[in-house]
Amino acid sequence: MEKKDIPQDPSKLQNFTKEVCYVVDESGKYISDLSTGWEVKSSALEVAWKDIEVRTAEAKQKMEAGQISPVLYLMEVKLMDLPTISDYTGFWKWSVKRHMKPTVFKNLSEKKLKKYAEVFETTVEELKKMNKG
Q: Could you state, in order of their start, the residue ranges of all structural domains in the chain?
A: 3-37, 54-130
Burial label for 32, CB within 10 Å (0-12, 13-18, 19+), is exposed
Topology, domain 54-130: 434 Repressor (Amino-terminal Domain) (1.10.260)
Over its length of 133 residues, how does the chain's per-residue pLDDT go in tens digits? 777 777 777 776 667 778 888 888 888 899 888 887 777 777 888 899 899 999 999 999 999 999 999 999 999 999 999 999 999 999 999 999 999 999 999 999 999 999 999 999 999 999 999 998 6
Of all residues in the chain, what percent are helix, strand and coil, respectively (each to 5)?
55, 10, 35
